[in-house]
Amino acid sequence: MEPPSHYNNWPTDKGFDPEYEQREPIDLVVTGTIPAYAAGVLYRTGPGKSHVKAENGETLRITHWFDGFTQNHRFQILAPDDRHTSTRVLYNSRFSTDDLIQNVIKTGSLKGLGFAEGRDPCKSVLGKAQSEFIPQLTPSSKNIGVTLSINFPGLGNKDERESSLRRRDVQEHTLYSKTDYNAFQKIDPETLEPLGLASQEDLHPELSGQVSASHARSDPTTGDVFNFNLTIGRTCTYRVFKVSAATGETTILATFAATPAYLHSLLITKDHVILCIWNAHLDPRSMAESFMKAILPTDPSQPAVWYVIDRKGDNGLIATYESPAFFCFHTINAWLEPSEDDASQMDIVADLVRADNTRLIHTLYYENLISSLDTAKKFQENIDDSLRTSIARFRLPSVPQTPSTDVKKASLEWSICKPLSPELPIINPTKVTQKHRYVYAVTFRGEATLTDGIMKLDCETQQVSLWACHGQSPGEPIFVADPDGIDEDDGVLLSVVLDGMHDKSYLLCLDARNLSELGRANVDGAVGFGFHGQHVSAVGGMPTGDY
C-alpha cells in the first residue's frame, strides 16, 4: 500500500486547542449499534488547550504537542435495559490543570512546563528535578496526562490500598494518570476532578529518580505492574521494579548503571522485564534547558542495548543484547518461544513500532501539526521515509536462566508497514506475554497533519486492513474483547475521532475482525487529539489496554 502522492490536509486545528469541556455527563446521539458487551467506561487523556491569554494581554502558546494542558474524557457505555432498547453513551470531560493555567495567566510565563518548553537556564539539573518532579501543593498544578491506570497497586492511603487489593473486578476503581517523569495524578473516576498527587517514592523510597516510562506494563493474569525509575546525575542509574497487585508491595528487581535515554515504554514476558535502551540518549547537561533539548540525535554507529531482568526470582539483570540503532515510542508485546536451533533454549520475541531516528519527536511541534498554518503545509509536503515508522519484530536468542556477562546479538526479523507509518499500537490485552497474531494502530499516511486511519496487521500473513474516511482523524484504538468470542480478533475497537470537516468528534466502534463500522456516538464539540486510554468493563475483569 503506497502513501498518498499529495497531501489533502483537512482541518485539524480544533483537535490541538479544544475549548469544549462537559463537566456533567450528557447523553450522546448514537447511530448504528455498539455491542452490549462493550458496556463500561472508556477513559481518554491527552493534551487539551495549547494557548492561554495572560493578564498582561499576551497570548502564551505551547510549542510542542506533548506539552498541551491535559484534559481527561469519560465515555460511559450503558447496555440496553428495561427502559432502553439500545446501547447508550454518556460523555463528560474536564481540564486537569486549572491551577497550573491560573499560574500561567498571572505570571505570563510558560517556563518549566514540561517536555519541550524552555526552562530557566540558571537552574541546574538538580534544581530542575526539585522544581519539576516533586509534586506541588495542589492536584491541578501539574501537567500529567499521557497514560491512565486503573487500580494502580501500592498508591493511596492505607484504607485505599487495602480496598484496591479487593477491587480486581474493577466495578469500583481508582484512576491515576502518568507521564514520562516520576509523578502520578489521582483523578475522580466519575467527575474527572484531580484529587491528589503522588510519586514513585510513595511506592519505594529508592525510586527517587526523575524519569520513568509512561507505559508501565501489567501482567494480564496477576495484575502486577512493572516499570523502571531512572536517576540522572554523574552516574545514571536504572532501577527496574515490580508492584504486587496482591500485596501492594514494591520490589526492586534490578539496579544498574547505563546510558540515560528517553524510554516511553518497556516490555515483559512471563519471566522477564525487558528494558531496551534505544537510541534516544540524553545529555544531562541540556536538561536544565528542556527535556527535548537533552534528547540527542540518533547515532547509527551506537547499538541499541536490550537489558533482560528476571521478574520471577532474585537473579536481577541476567542478560544483555545489542541490535542496530533505532528509536521507539511504543512497544507492542513480547513472549518466549523455543529457539529454532536448540529447542532446550528459549528466545524472547519482541514486537514494537520502530523509527529510524529521533527526528520523529521534532515533527510534533504545533507549527507542523496545525493544518491552517503555512509551516504545517510546507512541512507535510516534505516528509520523507526517514520520518515514517514500521512495525518490527526482534529476536533475543537463548536467554540464560542465570546472570551472564556476555553481550549477545539481537536480530531484526522483519519490519513492515512503513507506507502507513503506524503508531499507538494495541493488541487484544489477553495476549500480553503470549504470541499474538493481530496488531491495531493508527496510521500517518500523509492525508492529514496527524492521524488519518486505523489499521489491522495480521502478523502471520503480513496482510493489512484499513479503515479510513476523508476528513476523519482517529485516536488510539482500544480493543474490547467479545466475552463469547473464540478467535483473537473477536471484539470491537473504540476510537475517538475528530471530524475535521465539522470540528466535532465522535466515539467510533469498529468490528475488530474486518474494521467495518458498527456504530458511533456523536459529541457536540471537538475532543482534543489525545494520547492513550483505558476501558473498564461493566461486567468485571481486568481493564483492557496497557497501563
Give one DSSP letter per residue of 459-527, joined into a string: TTTTEEEEE--TTEEE---EEEE-TT--STT-EEEEEEEEETTTTEEEEEEEETTT--EEEEEE-SSPP
215 annotated among ligand-binding-site residues: yes
Residue 295's φ and ψ, nearest 5 degrees, are -80, 115
Which runs of E-coded beta strand occur in 63-170? 70-78, 88-95, 147-150
The pLDDT assigned to 3 comes to 44
- Which grid cell sits at 373? 498554518
Containing H/E element for 125?
Answer: helix 125-132
The pLDDT assigned to 172 comes to 76
Q: What b/e readout covers 388-398, taking b as 16+ CB neighbours within 10 angstroms? A: bbbbbbbbbbe
84 annotated among ligand-binding-site residues: no
The pLDDT assigned to 76 comes to 98
64 annotated among ligand-binding-site residues: no
Question: CB-based contacts of 8: which residues, under 8 Å, 6+ apart?
Answer: 447, 448, 470
Mean pLDDT for each consecutive 10-residue tract of the chain (547 residues)? 50 86 97 96 95 91 93 96 92 96 89 68 34 59 95 80 55 89 96 97 97 96 96 95 96 98 98 98 90 94 98 96 98 96 93 96 93 89 90 98 96 97 96 97 93 97 97 96 96 97 96 98 96 91 57
The pLDDT assigned to 290 comes to 87
DSSP assigned state of 378 = H
The pLDDT assigned to 420 comes to 97
Secondary structure class of 180 (helix, strand, coil)? coil
The pLDDT assigned to 8 comes to 57
DSSP assigned state of 369 = H
Half-sphere exposure of 240 (CA within 13 A, CB side): 30
The pLDDT assigned to 110 comes to 77
204 annotated among ligand-binding-site residues: no
CA distance 60 to 110: 7
